[in-house]
């Protein structure tokens, strides 16, 4: 187990070096800034950049506002984290029961309705869905804030409280959850259908075991590990769509910072955002691999052998 953990840590470290090297080379050729000030040869410049990043958390300064890029990213990270965590809960609350029930009742009305949902979720763009929800519930019905963000601690947004914070994020959560739940619903349905066709399930049914007991005690337990891996991968890829959701609802998160930096041609902020998101995805994949090793008894047995 220790060897596996060390191997995954080493591969994550190599991924970190690859991300920072790519960003450094790409953006050092696009323009000169504080983050890419000449410092000898190109390898020497990269080592200097890496040392400042790892040793001091220094990603340079914005070429527009002259504010430290790290400060901007750390200020925006809680907004994006709130969006992703809440959206993930909505995503799971939709995909798990819908995929499970569709697998238990294939080719029934609910299964056909879930197919329509999956098709719509895969077809809808997050910006379009976000703008439609914002117009309907915010500007037409006036039941939820149409845009903006409200922090719980009244730090910089002029409002406070968990209730107002949640009300501002409810529509972004729904948008993020619906768009990503579509594909995950299909995965849940396929895995459960495959497990229901296994020999041990047919044997249990032949012995008189109830369907609910089989699903609860065996099927769900066997499909949770592959679903955990798929969920980790989907969360990592869905982070790329955060910029669309935050743009639709004008949220001051990492996606909003990246969008504004792209409009302003603020290269240090763009580079810092790419590094920040890339490292976050790498760490998320590491956490999924470690969780898989911790919960899968077969993998634990192979690692002990």
The residue written with tokens 């012995």 in the block is 207
Q: Are 303 and 4 contacting, i.e. CB atoms less than 8 angstroms apart? A: yes
Spatial contact of 60 and 270, defined as CB atoms under 8 Å apart: no
Which pLDDT does position 34 carry in this prediction? Answer: 44
CB 231 within 8 Å of CB 89: no
Coil/strand/helix, residue 39: coil
Domain positions in the chain are: 2-304
Per-residue pLDDT of the chain (305 residues; tens, 9 = 90+): 677 778 888 988 998 999 988 888 887 766 554 444 555 677 788 888 888 888 888 888 888 888 899 999 998 988 988 898 898 888 889 888 888 888 888 888 888 888 888 888 888 888 899 999 999 998 889 898 888 888 776 555 556 677 888 888 999 999 998 888 888 888 888 888 888 777 777 777 776 666 667 776 677 777 777 777 777 777 777 777 788 898 889 888 888 888 888 888 888 888 888 898 888 888 888 887 777 666 665 555 555 55
- Give the separation between CA 191 and CA 100, rounded to whole angstroms: 9
| Rounded Cα distance, 37 and 60, in Å | 10
Distances in Å between the Cα of 127 and the Cα atoms of 141, 249, 270 are 20, 9, 21
Task: Dig out the tokens for 124 from the structure.
Answer: 């809808």
pLDDT, residue 136, reads 92
Cα separation of 149 and 147, whole Å?
A: 7
Residue 181's nearest CA partner among 107, 117, 237 is: 117
Q: What is the pLDDT of residue 159?
A: 67
- Please, which residues bridge with residue 61 across strands? 68
The DSSP output letter for 146 is: S
Q: Is the dihedral of CA 199, 204, 208, 211 positive or negative?
A: negative
Q: Residue 187 has what pLDDT?
A: 85
The counts of H helices and E strands in the chain are: 13, 0
The pLDDT, as a whole number, for residue 35 is 47
Q: In this structure, what token pair is assigned to residue 231? A: 């969920």
**Residue owning tokens 């911790």:** 294
- 0.85 surpassed by pTM: no
What CATH fold (topology level) applies to the domain 2-304? MetI-like fold (1.10.3720)
């Amino acid at each position: 187990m220790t060897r596996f953990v060390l191997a995954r840590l080493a591969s994550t470290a190599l991924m970190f070096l690859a991300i920072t090297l790519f960003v450094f080379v790409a953006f050092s050729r696009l323009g000169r800034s504080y983050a890419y000030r000449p410092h000898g040869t190109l390898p020497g410049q990269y080592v200097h950049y890496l040392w400042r990043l790892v040793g001091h958390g220094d990603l340079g300064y914005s070429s527009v506002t002259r504010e430290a890029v790290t400060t901007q990213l750390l200020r925006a990270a809680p907004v994006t984290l709130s969006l992703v965590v809440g959206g993930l809960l909505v995503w799971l609350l939709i995909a798990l029961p819908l995929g499970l029930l569709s697998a238990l009742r294939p080719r029934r009305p609910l299964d056909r309705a879930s197919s329509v949902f999956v098709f719509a979720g895969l077809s809808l763009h997050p910006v379009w869905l976000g703008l439609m929800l914002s117009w309907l519930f915010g500007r037409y019905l006036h039941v939820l804030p149409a845009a903006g963000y409200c922090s719980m601690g009244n730090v910089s947004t002029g409002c406070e409280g968990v209730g107002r914070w949640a009300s501002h994020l409810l529509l972004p959560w729904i948008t993020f959850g619906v768009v990503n739940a579509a594909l995950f619903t299909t995965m849940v349905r396929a895995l459960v259908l495959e497990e229901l066709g296994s020999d041990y399930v047919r044997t249990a049914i032949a012995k008189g075991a109830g369907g609910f007991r089989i699903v609860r005690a065996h099927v769900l337990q066997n499909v949770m590990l592959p679903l955990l891996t798929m969920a980790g991968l989907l969360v990592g890829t869905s982070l790329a769509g955060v910029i669309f959701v935050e743009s639709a609802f004008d949220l001051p998160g990492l996606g909003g910072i990246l969008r504004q930096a792209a409009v302003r041609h603020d290269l240090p902020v763009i580079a810092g955002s790419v590094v920040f998101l890339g490292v976050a995805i790498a760490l998320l994949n590491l956490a999924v691999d470690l969780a898989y090793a911790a919960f899968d008894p077969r993998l634990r047995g192979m690692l002990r052998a």
